Structure 1
Amino acid sequence: MTGSNHEFHGPAFVQYGHGSVQEISTSYTLAASPLDRAADDLMDKVYAWWDEEAGNRGLLSPPPLPVRWQLSTAGSTAKVAAATAKGTRSRFAPLPGATTVTRKQLRAGGSLTELFEIYAGLASGRILLVGPEGSGKSAAVHLLLLEALRHRRNESDPQRRARIPVPVPMSLNGWEPLEERPIDWAIKKLSRRHGHNVRELLKTGRIALLLDGFDEVAEEVQSDAVAALAAAPYRVLLVSRTAKAPLSDAVALELQPVRPADAADHLLSLPLPDPVPDAWQELTRRLVEEPESAVAEALTKPLGISLVWELGPDSGTVKEILGLGDPLAIEDRLLDHAVRAAYTPRPGCKRPRYSPEQAERTLRYIAERLTAEETFDLRWWQIPCWGRPRARAAVTWSLSICFYLVLMAYMLTSATNFLTVAVALGVPVAAGVDLALRLRRLNYPQPLESAGWRDVFPGRAITTGILAWLTMAAWYGATRWFWSSPAPVWMWFLITAPFGLGTAMFRGRGDTLMGRTMLAPWAPSPYELRDEEFLPSPTAESRVIDPTDVWRHHVRLRLPLGLMVGVTIGSFWGCVTGDAGGLVSGIIVGVFTAVGPALRCGLVPNLAVATTLTAVQLSRSEGTPVRLMSFLKDAHERNLLRATGPVYQFRHARLQERLARPAK
């Protein structure tokens, strides 16, 4: 008999009477558990995103450089014994298809294949991958991630596949180890990106975390961070520049420099012209025959090799670096040409939409801003803080308040009593203050307030909103009938729509959006500065989000919601006015009262709109592209930027450092 938690195949024996046995073949399929289905769905999403990202980073074509590693000299015999659980109980069993890692395997070192074997079979489930800046740590982790995902995808047995965790890369940015446990932090961060079922996936070991950014963690809390990670109930791979992180039961594996011969073979795998340029031949010759030369020393890092590969054999830069005698000077010269090489038109390639000069000017400005802010993460929703935010806010406020001045003029011309005059004068003042406070928030770094439609209007919120709407409609109709002033049935529902929408949004995640309006005057203030995560709010759909998707999602969500708030409020005041003063007055008042809240709730505080306006402002002052988000996506496709969740980063920290220096 064979079986799994999904299927059963085997014989069943049934006896009829004395000595009579009949064999019946039975086969049936059991439904996969919800957690297994969630893990499989997460695997497909993560693989689709990171496989495409590998192509953007040039890790698929040409074939990547060999990944070689050895046991770090910082790894003591006691640590190795603890990691392999020699003589003790293993914390993690080997993954299906893998074997338990021995000390002999660790000391032997190896390539990417052996690195995956360590990941899959290490008893402690704790790996510290170390290497200096530019040594290819990110590329090695990326390749290991794809290898682990393929291993899980290729497992046909559902029961065995369920025992293989889904590897998910994450940055340690934003974690406060003294304030929250690593599992709570991981659940909060991953659930906002991949769905609500991450909690159980993590607690049951169905997710493994590949953690980068340890070197950006404050030194005073690094020891607390690794101590907390040691107790996490899932496999952990931690990336660091040094092996100083005392991660309990972890082995420190150190990436080795690229061998000069491997670098030469990699460069010769290019489609070379015939004859091969003399400078290219000299470059590859020095790599093989002069391994102690400055050229060979500079090109033993994946960063330097990838930059030379992108320049190509016809570039005059190759001749320049052959004449330099300092490895660091060679690397700097290559970095200086990286942007221009990416935006130089080439035969057979798509023509760049931006000139090399504009691209370099834009990336230099971004690098200077990020360096001044002491961060490597480019969060597009914080771009409104760049440039001159107060000038942008003043212009936006002036244009928006013009509408309220027109409304004031209309109300004053049709005023029949003192109350109407007071309202006409008070509305622009109140709206102006509200607009100013909402715009003031955009002068400071903001959290990314973006949620899916299912989060703004979850099922229970919709049900509650509809019930509130029907109840208020019935109450309104009964009240009008009781006072002998019946109203059309359609008016019952139109005039009470704000109560239904307000209830539904308040039960969901739309309370701050409609705050300080008649839909929810009790809701949190939309212009108070709040300490929130710089990530999208949870979405019920499991998916990986990239920066461009988040930006579009923000535009397509916040604008319609603001319009919905305005239309609902306009329907209320339009019906009230129309019932008292006629159809024409009702339509005019309805339109006026709808546009104002729509502006204040959907357009003015919208981070995507503010980012677009800031891009226009930066285009005039700094010469950057008007469509800045499109430029960032294009730079990502040209492997100058990389995407980590909803944020962009420069492909290498050295590239950001070099661009942030004043141009010569």
Structure 2
Amino acid sequence: MAVEKRPWWRTTGFIAGVMALGGSLALLGIFLRTHGLGTTANVAQLMAVALSVPPLAAGLVSWWRRPDASAAPTAAEITEAAQALAGLVEQQWKDESLLRSLHDPAPMPVRWRLTGSGGLMDHPRNALPAGTSGFAGSSEDIESLVERFRALPKRRLVVLGGPGTGKTTLAVQLLLGLLASRGPEEPVPVLLPAAGWDTREYPDLHSWLAARLEQDYPALRALGPKTARQLAGRGGVLPVLDGLDEVHGPDRTRVITALNRSLGTAPLILTSRKGEFAEAVADADDVLAAAPAIVPERMTGADAADYLEKCLRSANRRQAWQPVLEHLRTPPPSSAKAPLREITASPLGLWLLRAVYVDAREDPAPLLDDGRFPAEADLRDHLLDGVIPALVAARRPGVGTGAGAPEPLFLPRREHDPSRIGAWLSYLARVLDRDSDGAAPRRRDFAWWHLARRTLPGKPPLLTRLAFAAVLTLIVAVAGFAVGATAFGIWGATAFGPAGVVGGGVVGGLVLAVAGVALNLLGWHEIAQWSKEPPGYADLRLSGRRRSLVRHVGRSGLRAGLASFGVAALVVGFAAWGDDGSGEGLAFGVTVAVLAALAGAPAAGIADGFIAWAETPALTGHVYTPTASFRADRRLNVIRGIPGGCAIGAGLGLISAISLSPVLAAALGVASGYLFWLRFTFVYGHHHAWLSYLVATHHLAWKGRLPRRLMSFLDDAHRLGLLRAVGPTYQFRHAKLQDRLADSPIR
């Protein structure tokens, strides 16, 4: 039976109460022995007044916290969350569709119809509206397809096809079409890679949906920690699961089974290659309930010619392309080979042809050379090999922008050598290929925070880890020596004159360097787990979040202050134990305890509250792209140790100033602040993805495998159209492109 977790204030109050009671009894016993009954009675009255403050503070804090942030969101909050999620999803996929040129100049003319293969879909009476026997439409008229989808009994659809036939593109088009005409009560379509669903960890769909919403759309956390769970559990999300074929064979069967068990009346869109889906339903001995399955028709040569002609905006270019367009529109003899017609029969081939020849303004005459491209495979390989230099040439930084104008989303930020892009992307494709074996499909999702885990171990894991430990230790030692030498060198100069600068600086620097290295080594087990930790989040915008900042900081400060009252009472008791009757020992103990209670502990609590506030994003956040995910985790890693180190360093410096010179107390405060900053930054928390990324990228850049500024390069590859973004992860634009790069020779 699960044990209910106690609220923080119960645990904190219990600890503080026990410590306060113990310290009070010790103090009263000492006073009774040394000062008699009269003085003890007066002290007891003062202590009674002091001990009444914590319960009052606890009551005020409890009242201030209401309504409880952990309570389930209300219906109005769920509606607000759905609206916010719809806005984020729409912005995300409108930007992505612009980068993929899905509507420039028009969608590709792919026609869809019900599959004729038996055993791939539910009975038509369950899957189709009453009185209908088919489901057909075109990607050019997505509004009609959206209406047909809404008319389905349970709004479920399976999109099947071979590689490069436009399955994902149709899913994105349906998502945008559903969002454009979404009613206030309709679920929000969210596209997620099916390969990310581990049915062992998340046996039902809705628990996995909640976890992915929290990862991919952190702005929902602004409404509370349970918002994503409630939104997914109440049917507020229409999952668009892309790429069931990318799931390992036995797991595909478990996905089909889990979907049928957990969907209930919920809608769904699922894409998959036809062969892999047929294997999954055969192994499961079941199909996806109430879901029709559609497949694409081959595009005709006339359809491809019409689409290419729309892409040729100038009359001169249309004239140069006339032989190719006429070739496509003229039916070939039944026995003749037609590699160009075969290539343009699929959206992938048509995109490659457009990217390499149309957008790059190349002469199309070689396309009609049967000697150069005798078969479809030869032409496809030629186009796949030429797509990187073609996109680099067509999308140059700053082209078409004026001075001071914002850079278009579809243009890279800097120039790149196509050969280097090919080499770096080939390495990434091989990295994704490492997790697959002969039976498992290639991994398609690249998460930047997994880079260290997938690249650093290699063949000599011990040597790599020792090198990493040596570099990190050297950095900590150098930083500690610099901080210690500066702080204690200044103290030495004030205490002993010029001669004390060297002595104080060297000794202080060495002590702090050794202490920092020792502290770092004590936390080595946690540091070794960096590569397994997910990215965190830090949002430092104040607009609309000032009240939240005050609430987080105030709550944590009061909590720490409440707990420190018990510590203060205990310190007072021990200080009084050594009192010689003059009251000086007691006065000193009281002063130390009060300073600890009013400065040290609350300062640390305030720092903790600041970090908690930073990790809670604004509801009106931006789309969580891979670049945004990287920057958010970097902010968290940079600021995480600063508040705690500054707060504890300042508190200990103030306490030290009671009996030490101000300069020495300041030096001790700086030294302790550095040590606690080190601890908070490298060991505290569960989000060190950026730190492990830094280690991996510097290691791989030194070996020449990847650029040091990897995320900037990936962002440019995304802008070029070579990659696509799905939430905080990247994928190659097409699986065929990834496969070609992964199989290319190592350069």
Superposition TM-score, scaled by structure 1 size: 0.77
Q: Could you say if the C-alpha distance between residues 320 and 598 of structure 1 is closer, same or farther in structure 2, counting changes exceeding 3 Å? A: farther
Q: Which residue of 2 aligns with 1:82?
A: 126
Q: Distance in 1 between matches of 2:161 and 2:471?
A: 49
SS of residue in 2 equivalent to 1:162? coil
- Worse overlay, 349-358 or 303-312: 349-358
Q: Could you say if the C-alpha distance between residues 283 and 122 of structure 1 is closer, same or farther in structure 2, counting changes exceeding 3 Å? A: same
Q: Could you say if the C-alpha distance between residues 183 and 210 of structure 1 is closer, same or farther in structure 2, counting changes exceeding 3 Å? A: same
Q: Distance in 2 between matches of 1:162 and 1:619?
A: 49
SS of residue in 1 equivalent to 2:640? helix
SS of residue in 1 equivalent to 2:270? strand
Shift of 1:304: 1.1
Q: Which residue of 2 aligns with 1:149?
A: 179
Q: Which residue of 2 aligns with 1:156?
A: none
The yes-or-no answer on 1:103 pairing with 2:125 is: no
Q: Could you say if the C-alpha distance between residues 652 and 108 of structure 1 is closer, same or farther in structure 2, counting changes exceeding 3 Å? A: closer
Q: Which residue of 1 aligns with 2:440?
A: none
SS of residue in 2 equivalent to 1:373? coil
Shift of 1:495: 2.4
Q: Distance in 2 between matches of 1:55 and 1:660?
A: 27
Superposition map of 1:610-625 within 5 A: 610-622=692-704, 624-625=706-707
Q: Which residue of 1 aligns with 2:13?
A: none
Q: Which residue of 1 aligns with 2:561?
A: 470
Q: Distance in 1 between matches of 2:263 and 2:613?
A: 31
Q: Distance in 2 between matches of 1:425 and 1:39?
A: 51
Q: Distance in 2 between matches of 1:642 and 1:249?
A: 31
Q: Distance in 2 between matches of 1:132 and 1:424?
A: 62
Aligned with residue 91 of structure 2, among 48, 53, 59: 48
Q: Which residue of 2 aligns with 1:94?
A: none
Shift of 1:556: 1.6
Superposition TM-score, scaled by structure 2 size: 0.69
Shift of 1:43: 1.6
Q: Distance in 2 between matches of 1:223 and 1:254?
A: 20
Q: Could you say if the C-alpha distance between residues 632 and 494 of structure 1 is closer, same or farther in structure 2, counting changes exceeding 3 Å? A: same
Q: Could you say if the C-alpha distance between residues 140 and 538 of structure 1 is closer, same or farther in structure 2, counting changes exceeding 3 Å? A: farther
Q: Which residue of 1 aligns with 2:63?
A: none
Aligned with residue 741 of structure 2, among 640, 659, 664: 659
Q: Which residue of 2 aligns with 1:353?
A: 415
The yes-or-no answer on 1:299 pairing with 2:344 is: yes
The yes-or-no answer on 1:497 pairing with 2:544 is: no
Q: Distance in 2 between matches of 1:447 and 1:344?
A: 36
Aligned with residue 634 of structure 1, among 716, 721, 745: 716
Q: Could you say if the C-alpha distance between residues 425 and 548 of structure 1 is closer, same or farther in structure 2, counting changes exceeding 3 Å? A: closer
Q: Distance in 1 between matches of 2:425 and 2:599?
A: 51
Code of the aligned partner of 1:281: Q
Shift of 1:228: 2.1
Code of the aligned partner of 1:622: G
Aligned with residue 254 of structure 2, among 220, 224, 228: 224
CA deviations 1:509-551 (Å, max 9, x no partner) are 99xxxxxxxxxxxxxxxxxxxxxxxxxx985736541111111
Q: Distance in 2 between matches of 1:581 and 1:433?
A: 31
Code of the aligned partner of 1:183: H
Does the CA contact (< 8 Å) of 2:153 and 2:290 recur in 1?
A: no
SS of residue in 1 equivalent to 2:263? coil
Q: Could you say if the C-alpha distance between residues 539 and 214 of structure 1 is closer, same or farther in structure 2, counting changes exceeding 3 Å? A: farther
- Which structure has the greater CA radius of gyration? 2
The yes-or-no answer on 1:559 pairing with 2:638 is: yes
Identity score, percent: 26
The yes-or-no answer on 1:127 pairing with 2:127 is: no
The yes-or-no answer on 1:395 pairing with 2:471 is: yes
Q: Could you say if the C-alpha distance between residues 561 and 477 of structure 1 is closer, same or farther in structure 2, counting changes exceeding 3 Å? A: same
Q: Could you say if the C-alpha distance between residues 411 and 108 of structure 1 is closer, same or farther in structure 2, counting changes exceeding 3 Å? A: closer
Q: Which residue of 2 aligns with 1:601?
A: 680
SS of residue in 2 equivalent to 1:170? strand
Does the CA contact (< 8 Å) of 2:480 and 2:674 recur in 1?
A: no
Does the CA contact (< 8 Å) of 1:469 and 1:493 recur in 2?
A: no
Superposition map of 1:451-462 within 5 A: 462=553
Code of the aligned partner of 1:199: R
The yes-or-no answer on 1:379 pairing with 2:447 is: yes
Q: Could you say if the C-alpha distance between residues 264 and 495 of structure 1 is closer, same or farther in structure 2, counting changes exceeding 3 Å? A: same
Shift of 1:446: 3.3
Q: Could you say if the C-alpha distance between residues 225 and 32 of structure 1 is closer, same or farther in structure 2, counting changes exceeding 3 Å? A: closer
Q: Which residue of 2 aligns with 1:541?
A: 619
Does the CA contact (< 8 Å) of 1:182 and 1:229 recur in 2?
A: yes
SS of residue in 2 equivalent to 1:69? strand
Task: Report how many aligned residue pairs link the two structures.
Answer: 578
CA deviations 1:410-443 (Å, max 9, x no partner) are 9999999xxx99998973563241354344224x
Aligned with residue 447 of structure 1, among 534, 554, 579: 534
Code of the aligned partner of 1:171: P
Q: Distance in 2 between matches of 1:229 and 1:256?
A: 27
Does the CA contact (< 8 Å) of 1:404 and 1:431 recur in 2?
A: no
Q: Which residue of 1 aligns with 2:525?
A: 437
The yes-or-no answer on 1:340 pairing with 2:389 is: yes
Q: Could you say if the C-alpha distance between residues 460 and 52 of structure 1 is closer, same or farther in structure 2, counting changes exceeding 3 Å? A: same
Superposition map of 1:400-439 within 5 A: 400-404=476-480, 427-428=515-516, 430-434=518-522, 436-439=524-527
Superposition map of 1:140-289 within 5 A: 140-152=170-182, 161-179=183-201, 180-194=203-217, 195=220, 196-230=226-260, 231-233=262-264, 234-242=266-274, 243-244=277-278, 245=281, 246-271=287-312, 275-276=316-317, 280-289=321-330
Q: Which residue of 2 aligns with 1:574?
A: 653
- Worse overlay, 165-174 or 197-206: 197-206
Does the CA contact (< 8 Å) of 1:566 and 1:595 recur in 2?
A: yes
Code of the aligned partner of 2:344: L
Q: Distance in 2 between matches of 1:267 and 1:635?
A: 24
- Worse overlay, 206-215 or 107-116: 107-116
Aligned-CA RMSD value: 3.8
Q: Distance in 2 between matches of 1:568 and 1:218?
A: 50
Does the CA contact (< 8 Å) of 1:101 and 1:122 recur in 2?
A: no
Q: Distance in 2 between matches of 1:425 and 1:282?
A: 74
Looking at secondary structure, tell me which structure has more helix per residue: 2
Shift of 1:585: 1.0
Does the CA contact (< 8 Å) of 1:134 and 1:301 recur in 2?
A: yes
SS of residue in 1 equivalent to 2:101? coil
Q: Distance in 1 between matches of 2:150 and 2:344?
A: 31
Code of the aligned partner of 1:484: A
- Worse overlay, 33-42 or 489-498: 489-498
Does the CA contact (< 8 Å) of 2:424 and 2:706 recur in 1?
A: yes
The yes-or-no answer on 1:69 pairing with 2:69 is: no
Q: Distance in 1 between matches of 2:309 and 2:427?
A: 35
Q: Distance in 2 between matches of 1:421 and 1:137?
A: 62
Shift of 1:363: 1.2
The yes-or-no answer on 1:483 pairing with 2:586 is: yes
Code of the aligned partner of 1:262: D
Q: Distance in 1 between matches of 2:636 and 2:520?
A: 25
Q: Could you say if the C-alpha distance between residues 473 and 306 of structure 1 is closer, same or farther in structure 2, counting changes exceeding 3 Å? A: same
Shift of 1:563: 1.2
Shift of 1:662: 2.8
Q: Kindly indicate whether structure 1 or structure 2 has the higher relative contact order, using CA contacts under 8 Å at least 6 residues apart.
A: 2
Does the CA contact (< 8 Å) of 2:122 and 2:292 recur in 1?
A: no
Superposition map of 1:299-338 within 5 A: 299-313=344-358, 314-315=361-362, 319=366, 322=369, 323-338=372-387
Shift of 1:408: 8.3
Does the CA contact (< 8 Å) of 1:468 and 1:499 recur in 2?
A: no
Shift of 1:290: 3.8
Q: Distance in 2 between matches of 1:425 and 1:290?
A: 79
Does the CA contact (< 8 Å) of 2:604 and 2:648 recur in 1?
A: no
SS of residue in 2 equivalent to 1:580? coil
SS of residue in 1 equivalent to 2:165? coil
Q: Distance in 2 between matches of 1:359 and 1:549?
A: 22
